[in-house]
Amino acid sequence: MKFGYFDDARQEYVITSPTTPLPWINYLGCENFFSLISNTCGGYSFYKDAKLLRLTRYRYNNIPTDTNGRYYYIKDGDTIWNPGWQPVQTELDSYSCRHGLGYSVFTSTKNELTAELTAFVPLNNNCEINRLTLKNTSNQAKDISLFSYIEFCLWNAVDDMTNFQRNFSIGEVEIEGSAIYHKTEYRERRNHYAVYAVNTAIDGYDTDRDSFLGAYRGVNRPIVVEQGKSTNSKASGWAPIGSHNINVTLQPGEEMSYVFVLGYLEIDEDNKWEAPGVINKAPAKEMLAKFETNEQVETALDELKEHWTTLLSKYTVETNDDKLTRMVNTWNQYQCMVTFNMSRSASYYESGTGRGMGFRDSCQDLLGFVHLIPDRARERIIDIASTQFEDGSAYHQYQPLTKKGNMDIGSGFNDDPLWLIAGVSAYIKETGDFGILEESVPFDNDESKAQPLMEHLRRSFNFTRTNLGPHGLPLIGRADWNDCLNLNCFSKTPGESFQTCSNFESGKAESVFIAGMFVRYGKEYAELCKRTGNQAEAELVLAAVDKMYDAVLENGWDGEWFLRAYDAFSEKIGSKECEDGQIFIEPQGFCVLAGIGVKEGLAEKALNSVKERLDTKYGVMLLQPAYKDYHLNLGEVSSYPPGYKENAGIFCHNNPWVSIAETVIGRGDRAFEIYKKTCPAYVEDISEIHRTEPYVYSQMVAGADAPRHGEAKNSWLTGTAAWTFVNVSQYIIGIRPEFDGLVVDPCIPSDMPGFKATRIFRDATYNITVENPNGAQKGVAKLVVDGQEMSGNIIPFVDGKKEYNVTITLG
């Protein structure tokens, strides 16, 4: 069952029913000011940091679900309704929500009145625009009362939810004309305020929530709206809101537009006050002046659309499969960009108050996003590397505002360092910018300890190389990519749980997954050494990589698949000898994509085992059999009920690893089959089962052991976005940046007749046509660049050349 459809021409998903199985959201904002917006107008806004600089209040886990947002109440006679259906939930005569790239449009009708609400964050401006157009389609004049509503958050979102003894007394606002200013804490710790304004004279306002709603009422039936008259309340403590009232008479056929702006302003200390106690409004007025007219708003919206068109033109395909085309050209890249911006902070599953930027998460996000805005990838790399410790290990997370490592979580996730190599190498392949390796970057944000970025990579590599366990495999530490596999969590103290365990540093548990990473990214690091003239280091690195390769074959192979790990007692994890958790997905995918066991024929065996033991119709599960009982010595993994999350859920993030691994051994049919199973556009038809947005990936789909097999959770902010894009764009479609140029090496299903692609790479445009006359799955039989036949599958990069016309024949 579907709740909407893709409008590919406009690059929108059109939701046609407000009662989607879960809120289906979109993100507004590209740089500093962001908003989340659901298909019923729910969500909230923040500036840079969703925890510390939250503009509007959101109620998590609320009932009814998803109530708080930017709401517009239309009172037409006795009928009160909202263009986004919530919060009044009046049945609408028609409804649609179009989520586009950085904007959302709600179009609804009730009793021959049409409302169209367009929401977006304009480029280079710290505000959200809500343009509301009302049109009377009846043949009688209508008297309409319109009320806007947002609820301010007192900036720090955690304090806002907890520190009521203080908060109920600090709220402050100013009202001037049609603008409501939220200035809580401005007199003291803040250098900023928010403004919520409309571009027309108003008939009244409210800034005090209780006055607007009335006692014991919810946002679904504000008393002010019912009575049709604002109270002109001035918030003093309690809960400041912004609400405008506009009364208008619309003649038959007449329409009227209003532009509401919610903005964030920062004021320097010297200019804080206009008069004693009166905030300096000049910067706000300057911002509002930019969005006073419909034309200005149209122009800003066009600029935003243009921005996205330019961005997404860097990689486009034309295939015979609409679902594939739309995911590659639009939605997968869009999600990569959003995930890069948000890391794991703010979604409908991440509260925006918890995690900062993840070291491994951000490095992986880079892989899917780097081609879009390489400069921002560069900046991010420097930020991430600046939090690394001198011994090469890393803070697991850092705070986006301070860019400092998060001490509470600390380090100990032993896969983290190697992801830095992955991110840097992807950046250099994309841009050719080897200069970044010479950039001086501090350790632990201490400038006195700055070293060239290349030295950071060396320490990353050496951290793993020098932290090996009894089988010559990397020590896992607190966990590797799988946060929940905490194998050093054994305890001699009865009653201790994985949450309280503290001895992971001394444990000798080992990870076959990190071994796979070491082989893959060790080779990339060696390549960087060679290309920067350090042959000796390259040789040392490659020798260590070879040794690891052998260690995996010797101690990391279980007969039919790769082992997952050794625990703290050197017992096997992910082996046929185990009762549960006999096979794990991660090492099968990652060892093979690192090339381990390919020539020995083990790769094929491992991937066949994945198909046999982990596959389901909704994707490949993380492990099997699911852990039935809780085992403290395995850590968090077995704390989940079977089929959920890391305990045998379909963890979408590592499905592409297996798909890439399939391309390594040339099985295009199978690679594509795996790709399709978790790909949102292909599961749109079963939205009632899948439940999350059919235009973006979710972190997890419930596995076969779960009662709700096929149900997804945690949409939007997941490494799945980057890895599926790497998979589909670089391995299936097969257009992959390498140091010397663009490689074209597709691995597609045999029934795909070919495709066309356009790739903008280092400022040159590549027009690529791939033909598949003989139903091949992989292998370039013929490569023609600008009429000239060449050998191999790489198009050498020629400095200054702006266009390449490439034809490839598979066979």
Which chain residues interact with ligand BGC by CB under 6 A?
483-484, 636, 645-646
Based on the shown chain and the rule CB under 6 A, indicate whether residue 361 belongs to the binding site for ligand NOJ. Answer: yes
Question: Between 361 and 567, whose beta carbon lies closer to ligand NOJ?
Answer: 361
Report, in Å, the least distance between residue 479 CB and ligand BGC. Answer: 9
Give which of ligand BGC, ligand NOJ, none residue 482 binds (C-beta under 5 to 8 Å, depending on kind).
ligand NOJ
Q: Which residue is nearest to ligand NOJ (CB)?
A: 483
Would you say 517 or 783 has its CB closer to ligand NOJ? 517
Cβ–Cβ < 8 Å for 470, 402:
no
**173, 460, 478, 782 from 547: Cα distances, Å:** 66, 17, 24, 37
Q: Report the SS3 class of residue 587.
A: helix
Cβ-based nearer residue to ligand BGC, 430 or 483: 483
Report the partner that residue 481 touches, choosing among ligand BGC, ligand NOJ, none (CB closer than 5 to 8 A by kind): ligand NOJ
| Among candidate residues 55, 230, 40, the one with its CA nearest the CA of residue 150 | 55
Residue 353, CB-side half-sphere exposure with 13 Å CA sphere = 16
- Residue range at the interface with ligand NOJ (CB under 6 A); choices 232-240, 306-314, 480-488, 574-582: 480-488
Stretch touching ligand NOJ by CB under 6 A, among 234-242, 244-252, 355-363, 702-710: 355-363
Burial bucket for residue 798 (CB in 10 Å: 0-12, 13-18, 19+)? exposed
Closest contact distance (angstroms) between CB of 443 and ligand BGC is 24
Q: Which of 66, 76, 365, 483 is catalytic?
A: 483
- Residue 693's binding partner out of ligand NOJ, ligand BGC, none, with CB under 5 to 8 Å set by partner kind: none
Identify the residue among 72, 315, 481, 697 touching ligand NOJ (CB under 6 A): 481
- DSSP code of residue 548: H
CA distances from 428 to 365, 531, 729 (A): 15, 11, 18
In terms of CB distance, is 594 or 748 closer to ligand NOJ?
Answer: 594
d(CA 643, CA 573): 18
Cα 398 to Cα 189, 411, 426, 491, 640: the distances in Å are 23, 11, 22, 29, 27
358 binds ligand NOJ (CB under 6 A): yes
Q: Could you say which residues in the range 637-676 bind ligand NOJ, by CB under 6 A?
A: 646
Q: How many residues in the shown chain lie near ligand NOJ by CB under 6 A?
A: 9
Q: Does residue 484 interact with ligand NOJ by CB under 6 A?
A: yes
From ligand BGC, ligand NOJ, none, interface partner of 636 (C-beta below 5 to 8 A by class): ligand BGC
Angle subtended at Cα 184 by Cα 180 and Cα 189, rounded to the nearest 5 degrees: 140
Q: Look at residue 182 and give the partner it binds from ligand NOJ, ligand BGC, none, a contact being a CB closer than 5 to 8 Å depending on partner kind.
A: none
d(CA 782, CA 623) in angstroms, rounded, equals 41
360 touches ligand NOJ (CB under 6 A): yes
Q: Smaller CB distance to ligand BGC: residue 315 or 657?
A: 657
Alpha-carbon distance of 284 to 286, in angstroms, equals 5
DSSP class of residue 654 equals G
8/304 Cα distance (integer angstroms) = 18
To the query of whether residue 78 is one of the catalytic residues in this protein, the response is: no
Burial (CB count within 10 angstroms: exposed 0-12, middle 13-18, buried 19+), residue 390: middle
d(CA 413, CA 478): 5
Residue 151 token pair: 């609820």
Q: Should residue 417 be labelled a site residue for ligand NOJ when binding is judged by CB under 6 A?
A: no
CB of 648 to ligand BGC, least distance (A): 12
Which of residues 484 and 540 has its CB atom nearest to ligand NOJ in the complex? 484
The burial class, CB within 10 Å (0-12 / 13-18 / 19+), for 222 is buried
- Interacting partner of 175 out of ligand NOJ, ligand BGC, none (Cβ under 5 to 8 A depending on kind): none
Scan residues 435-474 and list those touching ligand NOJ (CB under 6 A): none
Contact residues toward ligand NOJ (CB under 6 A) are: 344, 358, 360-361, 481-484, 646
The catalytic residues are 483
